[in-house]
Structure 1
């Protein structure tokens, strides 16, 4: 009776030990992996036994050896799919760039996208996003590049889009948007 119990305890301890190896940002990204459809197994290098996610496919980190932080996530053209996971990605405090170009990111772009406060570059072009453009996007104070080309966003461009603080590039072509918007006002 004690032998099966000992085996169960050893297995549980090894699982806990492996999960606790990965830093907090890695745990968030691993949660991202579990939330996305990945039919081509592009994210197979995302291993919870690693100490950090800095060597994972598509992940770029910055900082010194003792304190690295995820700054870029480039999963462009990887055939991943699912809703845009702001509840996960916006927990990465130093994330400057997200590139999900040419995938199957779907549903609506959540209003809480503004919680990704450090973002400078957001490329969600050529996906399957629908619904209205989030009026909260201009609340991203550092955003310089926004490409939402080739989705199925519909409705008018929100009035708030005239209030971006640092935006230099905006592309909304090939959507189902209505009306005109004068960005010179």
Structure 2
């Protein structure tokens, strides 16, 4: 067993060194084959356990044992020595509550090298936290992950998931969902009635976000800006013509005042208009002491 564990860590090290970006998808098949070969004896042991779960007599809830057996059958390296997962020494990658028949409430499978598509472990319906990050998991996100009634956190980051996020997960406001690092995963722009990606779906990018969906509704944003643009244009047009009107009024008053000033100026050689006949001076420009 110690030799098998050493080989497991050796293959894990090779995998971590060689895997980056899309090379992860091309390398994982060979690594998985080797791991299953090294742990073939454990694989047969887990398979036997999973087939015999109907005779299980331990204290851990039977529904949870079924779910754990499904995981261990596909990923034999998850199996630990204790036959009762929630009793001391408890399995290291689960957390259980303190019920008389303990329920598994957390799966911590971060970097457990799972690969492929997940088996259905939906019988573990007391789960509150599931961490499946950094495992090389591929294919569409299983819809059964959205059926856990008490699920609060689901971490699917840095895998190889494709397709769309199921609505049961994307539309769950009570769920903290992390999907960053899945380059080919589509995040729907809205909660639809099916798991089919919408035509305006966005590809998920590697970011520091927690996976919460930000849906850039570009079209609706343009439509909503149209009334603002029209309002601003009309307002500017009105203000411009008001300014023109005010300018014209002041200009007219200025010209009238200048005419009055010139008419009231004392006679003299410097005033070229002294010789203008009284009849040609506008009535409103004549001084009060002048008479026609």
When the two structures are superposed, what TM-score results if normalisation uses the length of structure 2? 0.43
Q: Is the 8 A contact 2:105 2:128 kept in 1?
A: yes
Structure 2 counterparts to residues 51-130 of structure 1, below 5 A? 51-53=84-86, 55-64=90-99, 66-85=100-119, 87-88=120-121, 90-130=122-162
Out of 184, 191, 196, which is 1:160 matched to?
191
Structure 2 counterparts to residues 26-65 of structure 1, below 5 A? 26-36=65-75, 41=77, 43-45=78-80, 50-53=83-86, 55-64=90-99
Counterpart Cα distance in 2 of 1:60 and 1:45: 14
**Which protein shows a greater Rg?**
2
- In structure 2, relative to structure 1, the CA distance for the partners of 1:148 and 1:154 (3 Å cut) is closer
Backbone CA RMSD of aligned residues:
3.2
Counterpart Cα distance in 2 of 1:17 and 1:61: 19
Q: Which runs of 5+ in 2 are unaligned?
A: 1-50, 193-203, 208-213, 222-292
When the two structures are superposed, what TM-score results if normalisation uses the length of structure 1? 0.65
Q: Which runs of 5+ in 1 are unaligned?
A: 1-14, 162-171
Q: Which runs of 4+ in 1 moved over 4 A?
A: 15-19
Cα deviation digits, residues 108-154 of structure 1 (max 9, x gap) = 002343212211000010111111222221454641x2111111344
Counterpart Cα distance in 2 of 1:120 and 1:83: 22
Counterpart Cα distance in 2 of 1:27 and 1:130: 27
Q: Which has the higher contact order (CA 8 A, sep 6+)?
A: 1
Counterpart Cα distance in 2 of 1:94 and 1:52: 15
For these two proteins, the number of residue pairs brought into alignment is: 147
